[in-house]
Amino acid sequence: VQPPEKPLQAEEWKKLREDFQSPEIFEEVMLNSMIRCNSPTDVAKSLLTHLAKRNGDIAYNVLVKYLTLCVQQGQVSEICDVYDIMKVRFKILESGAYNLLIKGLSNSNQWRMALTLLEEVKKIMVPSRTCYESCIKAASRHQEMKLAFELYDEMLAKDVVPTLDVLQSFFDFSRGMKDAELQKELFGILLYLRENQIYPHKTFMRSIKLWFESIPGGNWRGHLTNIKHSGQCPVCNHQLEDSNLTEEEYSNLSERIIRDVIHGTDTFRKTTPQEFEAFQTFVENRLPFDIVIDGLNVSHIKTRKMQCENLFDAVNCLAKENARLLVLGRKHMLMNSSNWKREIMKEMQNKADFFFAENISEDDAFLLYATLRSGKHCKFVTRDFLRDHKACLPDSLTRHLFRKWQRGHQISKKNVFPVFSQQPPFCYDCVVQTTGDTWHIPYKDVFEEKYSYQVPRKWLCIQQK
Amino acid sequence: MQSANMLLRKIVRSSVLPFAAQHGMKKDLFPRSRTLSLSLCLKQDKSCEPSEKLDLDEWKKVMKSGLQEDVSEMVPEPKELSSLAAARETLEMWRLAGRVVPENISEEELKTFMECPSKSAKKKYLKYLRIKELHKKNDKRKTGEKRERRLEAQDQASKMGETKKNSFICMWSSTMDKAYNWRAAQSMIFGQPLVFDMSYEKEMSVREVTNTVRQIVLSESCNRRSVDPFHIHFCNFKDDSLYHREFIKQYREAWGKLLITVTDQCYTEIFPKDKLIYLTADSPKVMKTFDHNKIYIVGSMVDKSIKTGVSLAQAKRLGLETAALPLEKYLLWSTGAKNLTLDQMMRILLTLKDTADWKKALEFVPKRKYCGFVNKPVKELKKTLDLINTLKLGKGREEVQKQIAKSYPKKYKLK
């Protein structure tokens, strides 16, 4: 339905309603389309008046719809009026109305009322992230940075994940302020980005850069750059953190992989205890390997070729320079078939160690184990993104460790004919990092990154002169 | 007019509202009382002021005037609500806001609601309750209508007068039950065993266990009604487990009289290992024929979160033979997981046992999951499908292959 352009008389509304196909939801549909068309509030008011006259009451959901319209247009006095009415009429409100009220009020000079509302919400539920977002933005817009950071800390304590917008607003509104305490808090946000492996988008990055450069007496300078493959920053010649895990992280990760990915709730789901034990002794006797290959995955690279030929190419290509190879496969590969020729398999077994798992076991778990056991220098070859294994890990911290390790150790090749070319893994770590007088911040060109395994290539280099 | 209005308000306030408040139904009564008083107000307004001037903020006056006094008197309730009452209040507001929320909620359900770990879990639970409520309401309405129709029919029959004399003895349902029970009793002595493995309780949520028990009850009744029933065994059944409690909820007194074997022993302790076959969709082996000398095991598990390999792990641990239904061989699979519900499994097994006809048995696979029966070997079919697709749609071969590989992943990977 098209909402009318001018306020209507009760009679006219009545007629419109009767003409509508399902009169019970007429008001709702009408208000929805008003919200969509951003109609003047006067029109909505006239509808409410008609409603009030007819029923002597206005339903809660209709009030909320009207409130949406007011918030959309920033009509502060109307918002306050609606709030007064709601407060009298209902003992508590639900989250939708609170969200709207807080959003509406925080954008006005009544923003302190939004804070009291937030307190009210806290009594009955955990406020949503948008509630916090509005309040924090309002506080920082009015230069109450301390208050804003209190709210921010409270939000983190309640496990409400802040939006990038909130984080960005801190940088935007702290521009040009000289305050050691504030500076510490903002560095804290950068470290939050680091810990959670969040990459700011372009505009956010710009806010960070501008803030750094605006610190009075700070002498910070920011440059946009691409990091060389060696991991050296071309602007300040600083070497980025390497992608290797620390000893502690490394042992932590391999323990978790064995416990959560291989064994999980039930060892029998991915393998059997006997098989895993056999595999363990097999690996221990031949350690360390340089490259571990997922045989079945590699054998599917080119669909036109025989599967064992694909694998043969890969092994030949990687076997140079005396690298110790381990190929993981399944027992069915040993059966002479159209895709797996016995002679070629024999020849390959001279060049690399092979382990054949049962046909119903998962070889990926073995791949991870063998690579981790061999040590930090060991790499693995598969095109699999290993998302399902990452998902087996229970907490986000370990998952981040896994991704980091995977970035540094996985060789996944492009499907280029006919040479088996390898694409080297990253040797530097792609996170926000600092040395005290420099900051390096990776950023995304677009707002949403599509894949979790992709990392940005562009960096912001900030250094203090 | 004014005085009448006042009088009305007083009456409303003094008699109805306290009563309403006591019973916690304040909100239901409020609008009604207000409409009454307001309609009087409005009539008065119109008579005084016939001009058609539009007052846009009139609704605010209405909303405020009819209420403030009443509410200010009503509000002095204990300010600190108990958490349960607060939750009830929140639900009420959600309902008003038009969310999917049940109209009535019991204390127990409210507690479950509060224990939900996240917002989305709460939402889902409420939706489930709402849908349940709607189903119940519909059922009630339908049974009411049925009863009316029956009474009408009876009325008409009595008007017609004479009742027909029937030379056959009427077979009442109790008689049928006796016959069924006789068969089930026979199956307990001579019948082929069928095992339900009840060891998956900790893999499931409470609702999944409820669903499982429901499906088993369905399969049991279907088995009882069949010509040649299985001898059903519930193995690994722990007393006072969640399964047990749910079964008692479903069967009530009948639980003690069921003609099945319930035991806390494992099937490997009761039957020789080489006769057992574990049926699981994850099995690499495909069932060719139904063997009357084997004992089939069905895992009593509903896994909504698709935990692959749980029952296969169980079979591996015990070193049992496994098998999967030949779904891909006989059906052109389209969507959905290949794990079937327990009652579908039971119907399929019963039909296989009686007829050994796969086509007939696999009729019980839900129609939405497959496109049709395969009449040629799958390989040939794939070739023709390929051909048709390349000719018709001009799709590349690889794309078609990808599509097929999606619905037949194992075959393409393993060979």
Domain regions of chain A by residue span: 247-416
Rounded distance, CA A140 to CA A149, Å?
9
Chain B residue numbers with beta carbons less than 8 Å from the beta carbon of A85 are: 60, 63-64
Is the model's pLDDT at B38 over the cut of 50? no
Helices A164-173 + A202-214 axis angle, to 10 = 30
CATH of domain B192-373: 3.40.1280.30
Q: What is the mean predicted confidence (pLDDT) over B384-413?
A: 58
Shortest CA distance to A289 belongs to which of A381, A421, A408, A406? A381
The percent of residues above 90 in pLDDT, for chain B, comes to: 37
Pick the range with the lowest mean pLDDT from A74-78, A223-227, B106-110, B164-168.
Answer: B164-168
Q: Return the domain boundaries, chain B.
A: 192-373
CATH domain A247-416 topology: Rossmann fold (3.40.50)
A109 touches B at CB < 8 Å: no
Burial of A119 (C-beta count, 10 Å sphere; 0-12/13-18/19+): exposed
DSSP character at residue A36: H
Examine the pLDDT at A420 and tell me if it is beyond 70: no
**Predicted local confidence at residue B155, as pLDDT:** 87
Mean pLDDT over residues B316-344, rounded? Answer: 89
- C-alpha B233/C-alpha B220 separation (Å) is 11
Distance (Å) from the C-alpha of residue A213 to the closest C-alpha of chain B?
A: 41
CB contact under 8 A, B90 and A92: yes
Q: Where are the alpha helices (DSSP H) in B254-367?
A: 267-270, 310-318, 327-330, 342-355, 358-361
Question: Which residues of chain A neighbour B35 with C-beta distances below 8 Å?
Answer: 55-57
Question: Which H or E element spans position B276?
Answer: strand B276-279
pLDDT reported for residue A259: 86
* Interchain pair A272, B316: CB under 8 A: yes
What integer pLDDT is reported at residue B89 of this predicted model?
86
Residue A42 Cα, gap to closest chain B Cα (Å): 7
Interchain contact A40–B (C-beta under 8 A): no
Distance CA A95, CA A124 (A): 10
Give chain A's mean pLDDT: 86
Which residue from B minimizes the CA distance to A126?
B119
The answer to whether B39 contacts A56, with C-beta atoms less than 8 Å apart, is yes
Note the pLDDT of residue B81.
Answer: 60
| CB-based contact B311:B301 (threshold 8 Å) | yes
Instruction: Report which of A94, A95, A97, A118 is spatially closest to residue A106, judged by C-alpha positions.
Output: A118
In one-letter notation, the amino acid at residue A253 is L
Q: In what order do the strands lie in the sheet with B295-299?
A: B261-262, B231-235, B193-197, B295-299, B276-279, B321-323
Q: State yes or no: pLDDT of B61 exceeds 70.
A: yes
Listed range (A154-168, A418-432, B42-56) with the worst mean pLDDT: B42-56
DSSP A332: G
Task: Determine the pLDDT at residue B33.
Answer: 41
Residue B127: helix, strand or coil by DSSP? Answer: helix
Which of the four pLDDT bands, split at 50, 70 and 90, describes residue A179? confident
The closest CB to that of A332, out of B39, B314, B414, belongs to B414
A-chain residues near B68 (CB < 8 A): 88
Nearest CA in chain A to B45: A53
Looking at chain A from residue 259 to 318, which residues have their Cβ under 8 Å from any Cβ of chain B?
Answer: 265-270, 272, 296, 303
Residue B396 has a pLDDT of 53
Query: How close does chain A come to B63, measured CA to CA in Å?
Result: 6
Indicate the pLDDT class of residue B18, thresholds 50, 70 and 90.
very low
A67, A70, A124: which to substitute to probe chain B, counting the most B Cβ within 10 Å?
A124
Least confident span in A202-211, B19-28, B345-354: B19-28
Give the pTM: 0.75
